[in-house]
Structure formats: structure tokens, C-alpha cells
Structure 1
Amino acid sequence: MDDLAELLRAGLPDEALITDPDVMAAYSRDMAGFCAAGAPAAVVLPRTVEQVQHVMRTATALRVPVVPQGARTGLSGAANATDGCIVLSLVAMDRILEINTVDRIAVVEPGVINAVLSRAVAEQGLFYPPDPSSWETCTIGGNIGTASGGLCCVKYGVTAEYVLGLDVVLADGRLLTTGRRTAKGVAGYDLTRLFVGSEGSLGVVVRAVLALRPAPPQQLSLAAEFPSADAACEAVCAIMERGHAPSLLEIMDRTTLRAVNALARMGLPESTEALLLAAFDTPDPVADLAAVGEVCAEFGATQVVPSETFAESELLLQARRLSLTALEAVKSATMIDDVCVPRSKLGAMIGGTAAIAAKHGLTIGVCAHAGDGNTHPVVCFDSADEDESRRARASFDEIMALGLELGGTITGEHGVGVLKKDWLARELGPVGMELQRSVKAAFDPLGILNPGKLF
């Protein structure tokens, strides 16, 4: 390890290299529970592409594993350190290099905060849609690594649909440029999409070309209270089937509502079993909300309350963004699931999760991107209670199994990381796993990039 530090120091400024064990401990893990994390041998915070290349060349020469990191807001353990690794934190590479209003693209470094980019392009009359709940702290590089989504994806899609091109430092230090700056492009295999969602296992993203959209009008929202999650999910299916195009369509169950109220005193209705939030950023959002409100009433909503101002809409949006944070405050630990099912199976997924909670005697709150079927069951438990921890893990696994039974996937936007790698094999099957490993070997023959993640 002395050789490692000496070789790294030869190509890095002093402030970019951390070897103090106490400081390095802060970089050892992301926000996922139940995921092992090791002790890194060094933490590097590069500011240039050349510094990243130096780190990867050094790691290859010494056969040292490298764990790329963003802001460590991930929920699957993908950014967790392994013993003796180099943690490569990209947060200091945080420049917006270009915003082009004609081509409608932004060129950014991986450490740019999602919300910072969103506000910067908004000043130019443009819009970067992907908006994870952690958008105020998560980085674009991390968003790319996990192919993250957000509240707007029902209308605008997820990160993968906005990444046009990448600069990637490979395991041996070579720099690869993928994709394009143009609106169209089909030259060769789509390596850009291959890196999106690869969780740092194929290369280190050091620059991204992102597609932008014209800024839409401000959105107005409504909240609809339902006597059951099934009724709310039936309303969701009807909204989508009848051709409505909400910019947001979210569900929060009673457990989640109570948790948000306890955390932020927002006055959300705790007597309802499910709260459906819908929003429109169309030229006439009032008319669109009225139409969706009628659908909600048709399917049993006990109360439908449209926002009268944009500020009221933002408060509802903030309540939804606080859901995971609020549930994390219920008990000493949480396991946050990320199962996505077809919209038509959303009711069965939420109802099945409630049955699993009752079976194991646990508190499991559910919030969901209802418009695309992406549920986030949050298992709350006492980490000091061995039996409760065991039941939490069992319920987590049963929720994933339920998602697969309903034709869904084990992760819609959080990634596989450490937490779900056993389940990835169940979803993909032996042929799929063989090809996944072959792709990994082609890009990283020594297996030094984020080992122990995915599979």
C-alpha cells in the first residue's frame, strides 16, 4: 500500500489524495442498509480527466480495485468500498462545460449536482427532466451509473433517454468517447446506453453530453384521497388508458403520509389509505386536472383537492420528495426496495406488500411512481433487534419475488449494487448472466472496476 500511495501521489496534487483512515471512513459506503463495506487503501478526488487516467493506470499496474463514487446517495451499495480499494470520488469534477440552446444539449462533468444543472438550463429556457428525489444532492455521474429516474419520468422518461454521449476512462486508463452531440445517430453498437446503469463496473464516466428539452409551463397538481390502494391504482390505470399525459403521477400510502407529517408537519390527510398526486405542465393544466379529478371520483376518491397556485403544487411535490427520508426516521434502519411492475399490476404489488408487512409484523411504507409502476416499499426495523432484522430481510426478499411474479423487475432506478446481486441472476437467468459477465470481461479483463457489485 505504500507503493500505491507513492505512485498515486506522483500524478496527483496533494489535496486530491486522502490516506487518513478516519477521513477515508466517510467514503466507505452509500445510503443502503444491509450492505457490507470495506476499508479503502486510498481515496482520490480528481479534478481532471488526466488525473482519473493516472489513477486507473496505477490501479491496473498494481491490480488494485477501484470503486467509482458520486455523492453516495445511492440505495443499493453500489458505491460501497471494498477492502484495499481506491475510492475514486468524482464530486470535485463539477463543472457545467456547455449549455447549447440551439442543439439543446448540456455538456457536464460527472460531479455536477442534478438540481444545479436543472436550474442552470432553466435560466436558458431549457429543461433537464430526470429528477430523483435526492436531486438537491445527487450527481449526474451517479444518475448515469444507476440509470436513475424521478418524479417526472411518467411523461419525460429516465436518465438513459437523455444521455447522448460519454467520455469514459477505461480500466487500463484509455479514454473512450461514445455517442454523439446530434439528435440522431446509429453508428455502431450503442456503447453509451451500455454504460448507463452499469454502476461503475465498465468504466469511469468523466464527461456527459445530455439532451435538453424546451422548458414546459409550470405545473399544477391535485391530491386525491382514496379509501384503498386498490382504488387509487384503478384510477391510475384509467388515467393512463384514457390518454391523459400527467407530468407527475405518484402514490403515497397511509404509513408514508404519517411519516411525512411526523417529519415535516405538512398536514397531509392521515385518515386516507392512499393519496394520489397528479400534476400537469400543459398549456391548460386546470382543465387537465379537472378531467383527472373526475376519473378519481369515478373510482372512489373521497376527496379531490386541486392546487390553486404553483406554490401549493410545489408543497405537494416536496411532500412526495420527503417520503423516503421520513420513513427512514420511523425506525433505526430501513431497507428501501425498488421494484417496478407493469402499471396494470400496481394494485397487486402494493396489496401484496401490505400482506408481507402483516405476515412479518413490520412497518412497511410504500410510495410509488404510479405512472410507470415503480414502487418503493420501505421496510422499517430496529437494527439492534436480531429477530426484527431477520424479518426485515425476509420481507425485502419476498417483495422482490412478488415483483418478478407480477412480470416486473427487481430495480427500476436504484440499481443492483450489493443489495440485489443475488436477485439479478434470478431475473436474467443463466444465459443472460453469461453474456453480462462476458461484457464485463471485455471492458475490465482484470476485474478491478467496482468488484463484487452486480454479480
Structure 2
Amino acid sequence: MADVVEELRRVLPPEALVTDPDRMESFRYDRAMFCPAGMPAAVVLARETAHVQAAVRVAAAAGVPIVPQGARSGLSGAANAVDGCIVISLEKMDKILAIEPIDRYVVTQPGVFNAVLSRAVAEQGLFYPPDPSSWEFCSIGGNLSTNSGGLCCVKYGVTTDYVLGLEVVLADGRILRTGRKTVKGVAGYDLTKLIVGSEGTLGIITEATLALRPQAASPRTMAALFGSGVAAGEAIVEIIRSGVSLSLLEIMDRTTISAVNSYKRMDLPTEAAAMLIAQSDAGGEAGAADVAAVAKLCRDNGAIECIEADDPAEGELLLEARRAALVALDQLGTTMIDDVCVPRSRLADFIGAVERLSTELDITIGVLGHAGDGNMHPTVVFDAADPSQAERAQIAFDRVMEIGLALGGTITGEHGIGVLKRRWLAEEIGPVAIDVHRAIKAALDPGNLLNPGKVTEDLAL
């Protein structure tokens, strides 16, 4: 490895290479608290595509594994280092390269934070819909690598729905450019969608062209309080059945509300077992009618109280609470954050099953998520220093995935597989799909150098 590090010094500027163990320590982990991580031999702080390409060529020549990283805000261990690897960090590639208002796209480097990009395009009267709860500290590259969703998914879809094209450094150092900048385009295989969600196992994204929408109207927001999580789940089903067009529909249980109150010094109501937050950006009378319709549906389905935000600032406060939920739960102990998505018709069943599981195992599980698209984030909270709690937490985490699959769902809606869920992938997709995964991996990364050990343990076999 000494020779590899020397070669990196030769091909990279001094500021782009980190070898000090103390500095490299912070590049070992993402935000998944319960995943193994190794120590890299070097960290490359790439400032441009050429730096990524040079580092990949050095690694490929020496057969050294590569772990791409963004803001390390992921929740599955997908960005965790492996021993002796070269970490290639994209956090310094943080420039927005172009915004085209007429053609409605933005060209960006991967290190740009989601919120920074969203605010930049808003200045041009445009809107980038994918907005993970972590939008203030998650990067566009990480969003692309895990195909992130967000609070607006119920109306606007997920990251892949907005990716027009990519620049990708392949495992041998070649640069692949996918997609286009036109509204339509079907030339060849859809390599863009293949790369999106591949968690850095097929290539390293160094530039993205993302579609934009016209800026939405100022939203109307309301909250509904319920005496049980199951009642809230049943109300969600009726809201979806009604066809009302919402731009956001989120849920938080009592555990999550209390955690947010403590963390953010808020005064959210804790007397209820669950709170729904609904929003319409239809504008004017249409938006008001949407919110009124949802409030009536909630009351008809057992809501204790429905509260409409008096002004946009109050609505933003509710969204701030929801965005802070996972960080707030982190303050209670070690967390294992599930990311199960179920058919919306089964949401009440899912919520009830998780509540019973929490009681059965005597373990805290905060239930929150994107209720409008069935993507729930049950978060197991435990004391990692207590062997009994740690064991029960792992059992609870696995059982949540079992429950989701049994209800016709998926083990991940937006956080990805990473290390945390890799043994569950085969359970969901089956042996034929695993064989296809292996074939694709072998075609693009025959040496299994890109993010090895992620997505599934035997992907390169």
C-alpha cells in the first residue's frame, strides 16, 4: 500500500490526499450506527472528475478496493470504509454548474447539498422536488446513489424520476456519460436508471443533469391527532382512496413527537398516539379545499383534533419537526432505522404489527415515515452497551422487515441496502434476480473493486 499511496501523491495535488489516521477516522462511517467499518489506506478529497479518474486508475492497477463517499449522511452503511481501501470523497465537488430555466434542468456536481441546490433553483422560479428529511446535510450524489425519496414523494416521486443524465467514472477509470438534456429520449438501454440506486457498486457519479419543475404555490398545511397509530393508518388509507391531491402526507408517533420536543425545544402535542401532517401546494382555493377535505376524512376516521396552520411559517414549523425526527431519536440512544415500504392499503396493518412487536420485545420503536407512499421508518432505539437490549434490537429490526415483506412490501424504500440489509436482498428479489445483479456487476466491475461488500455479500461471486 505504500507504493499505492506514493502513486496517489504523484497523480493528485497535495490538498486532495489524506493519509493521517486521525483525519481518516471521520471517513470510516456514515450515519448507520450498527454497521462494521474498516480503516482506509488513504482518502482522496476530489475537487474535479479528473481527480476521481486518476485515483480510480491507481486503485484499478493495484487491485485496491474503492469506497465512494458523499456527505456520509446515509443510514445503511453503504459509505462505510473497508480495511485498506481508497476512500474517494466527493464532498469537495460542490458546485452547481448550470441552471437552464427554459429547458428546466440543472447540472450539478455530486457534493452539493440537496437544500443548497433546491434554494438555488428556487431563485430562478424552479423547483427540485426530491427532498429527504436530511436535505440540509445530505448530498445530491448520495441521493442519486440510494435513489432517495423525501417528504414530497406522494405527489412528485423520487430521485430517479428527475435524473436526465449522469457522468460516471467506471471501475477501470473510463468516463461514462448517460442520458440526455432533452425532455424525451429512448436511445439504447437506460443506463442512467441502472446507475441511480446502485450505491457506488457500478461507478462513481461525478456530475448529474437533473430535471426541474416550475415552482409550486405556497402550501397549505394541517395536522391531525389520533388516539392510536392504527387509527392514523386507517385514515391514511381513506385519504388515498379519496383521490385528494396532496404534496405531503407524513406520520409521527408519540415516541417520535416526544423526542422532537426534547431535541428542538418544541411544544408539539404529546397527548395523541400519532400525528399526521398533510400539505397541499395546489394553491389558492384548491389548496384550501384539499386541506379541508383531508381534515374531514381524518375526523370521520377517529381524529381527536385537526389543526390547520394559520400561516406558512407555522406550516414550516411542522415540517421542521418532521425533518428533525430521526436526529431527535438518535439523542435517545443507538438507533437502527428501518426503511420498509408497504402497499398503502396495508399501512394500518403494518403500524399495528410494529406496535405489538415493540411491546412483545420490550424495546422502544419510534414510528414515523412518508405515509402518503407507504414508506415507513420504524426506528429501534436501544442501549448498545446492554447486550440484552442490543440482541432484542437486532431481532426487532429483522422482524420489521419480515412484517413488511409479509404485507407485500419491500425492505427499503429509499435508504438503500448498504451493509445493514444486504442479507435480506436475496430474500426479497430471489435467486434469478441475484444472478442478474452479479452479471451486471461483473460486466462493469469485474475485479469487484467498487464498494465491495455492499448491497449483497456475494454479489461478485
Q: Which TM-score applies when normalising by structure 2?
A: 0.98
Task: Report the identity percentage.
Answer: 59
Tell me the C-alpha RMSD between the 2 structures: 0.7
Q: Which TM-score applies when normalising by structure 1?
A: 0.99
Question: Cα deviations across residues 243-277 of structure 1 (Å, max 9, x unaligned)?
Answer: 11111100111111111111122111111111011
Taking the aligned partners of 1:155 and 1:97, their CA distance within structure 2 comes to: 28
Question: Cα deviations across residues 336-387 of structure 1 (Å, max 9, x unaligned)?
Answer: 0100000011111111111111111111000010000000001000010011
Counterpart position of 2:392: 391
Counterpart position of 2:289: 287
Taking the aligned partners of 1:111 and 1:265, their CA distance within structure 2 comes to: 31
Taking the aligned partners of 1:324 and 1:49, their CA distance within structure 2 comes to: 33
Taking the aligned partners of 2:26 and 2:444, their CA distance within structure 1 comes to: 29
Kept after mapping to 1: 8 A contact 2:219/2:283? no
Gaps of at least 5 residues in structure 1 are none
Q: Is 2:392 aligned against 1:401?
A: no
Counterpart position of 1:307: 309
Q: Is 2:89 aligned against 1:89?
A: yes
Q: Is 2:313 aligned against 1:316?
A: no
Counterpart position of 1:237: 237
Question: Cα deviations across residues 196-255 of structure 1 (Å, max 9, x unaligned)?
Answer: 000000000000000000000111210101111122112111111111111110011111
Compute the displacement of 1:294 (Å). Answer: 0.8
Counterpart position of 2:420: 419
Compute the displacement of 1:121 (Å). Answer: 0.2
Taking the aligned partners of 1:393 and 1:343, their CA distance within structure 2 comes to: 26
Counterpart code for 1:352: A
Q: Is 2:185 aligned against 1:179?
A: no
Taking the aligned partners of 2:321 and 2:33, their CA distance within structure 1 comes to: 23
Compute the displacement of 1:287 (Å). Answer: 2.0
1:329 alignment partner, one of 297, 317, 331: 331
Counterpart position of 1:116: 116
Compute the displacement of 1:406 (Å). Answer: 0.4
Q: Is 2:78 aligned against 1:78?
A: yes
Counterpart code for 2:324: L
Counterpart position of 1:361: 362
1:433-444 paired onto structure 2 within 5 Å: 433-444=434-445
Counterpart position of 2:379: 378
SS state at 1:210 partner: strand
Compute the displacement of 1:335 (Å). Answer: 0.4
Aligned length: 454
Taking the aligned partners of 2:69 and 2:264, their CA distance within structure 1 comes to: 30
1:199-210 paired onto structure 2 within 5 Å: 199-210=199-210
Taking the aligned partners of 2:51 and 2:34, their CA distance within structure 1 comes to: 33
SS state at 1:351 partner: helix
Q: Is 2:24 aligned against 1:24?
A: yes
Kept after mapping to 1: 8 A contact 2:40/2:84? yes
Counterpart position of 1:164: 164
Counterpart position of 1:151: 151
Q: Is 2:98 aligned against 1:103?
A: no
Kept after mapping to 1: 8 A contact 2:107/2:208? yes
Gaps of at least 5 residues in structure 2 are 457-461
Taking the aligned partners of 1:11 and 1:360, their CA distance within structure 2 comes to: 54
Taking the aligned partners of 1:37 and 1:238, their CA distance within structure 2 comes to: 44
Question: Cα deviations across residues 362-415 of structure 1 (Å, max 9, x unaligned)?
Answer: 110000100000000010000100111011001000000110000000000000
SS state at 2:107 partner: strand
Question: Cα deviations across residues 400-448 of structure 1 (Å, max 9, x unaligned)?
Answer: 0110000000000000000000000100111111111111111100000
Counterpart code for 2:423: D
Counterpart position of 1:446: 447
SS state at 2:367 partner: strand
Counterpart code for 2:290: D
Runs of 4 or more consecutive aligned structure 1 residues displaced over 2 Å after TM superposition:
none
1:258-297 paired onto structure 2 within 5 Å: 258-284=258-284, 285-297=287-299
Taking the aligned partners of 1:127 and 1:26, their CA distance within structure 2 comes to: 33
Taking the aligned partners of 1:172 and 1:97, their CA distance within structure 2 comes to: 26
Counterpart code for 2:146: T
Counterpart position of 2:34: 34
